[in-house]
């Protein structure tokens, strides 16, 4: 039901808290989500990066693989519960 889009890749990054706060404020000013702001910036900065036919083939392969991979399940849980499970 709530499966991730196989054409999307999850990226997690660590950033300085000051940068994070600036991004939050800018997103609020623009009345958009933080995710949409970050995607907008990344798209603007990479729009002139040309992808080759091989790049598109690799993307298609990875998308097919993500569609077929039903063994991985991702859930979000409170940090405290995660800590209890691991210890």
Task: Give 51-62 as a DSSP string.
Answer: PPHHHHHHHHHH
What pLDDT digit, counting tens, does each position of 61-71 carry?
999 888 876 55
72 falls in which pLDDT band (50, 70, 90)?
low
pTM: 0.67
d(CA 23, CA 33): 10
What pLDDT digit, counting tens, does each position of 19-50 carry?
999 999 999 999 999 999 999 999 999 999 99
């Amino acid at each position: 039901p709530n499966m991730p889009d196989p054409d999307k890749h999850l990226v997690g990054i660590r950033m300085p808290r000051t940068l994070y706060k600036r991004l939050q404020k800018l997103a609020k000013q623009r009345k958009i989500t933080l995710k949409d702001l970050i995607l907008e910036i990344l798209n603007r900065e990479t729009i002139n990066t040309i992808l080759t036919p091989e790049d598109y083939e690799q993307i298609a392969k990875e998308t097919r693989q993500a569609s077929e991979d039903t063994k991985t399940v991702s859930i979000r849980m409170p940090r405290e519960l995660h800590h209890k499970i691991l210890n």
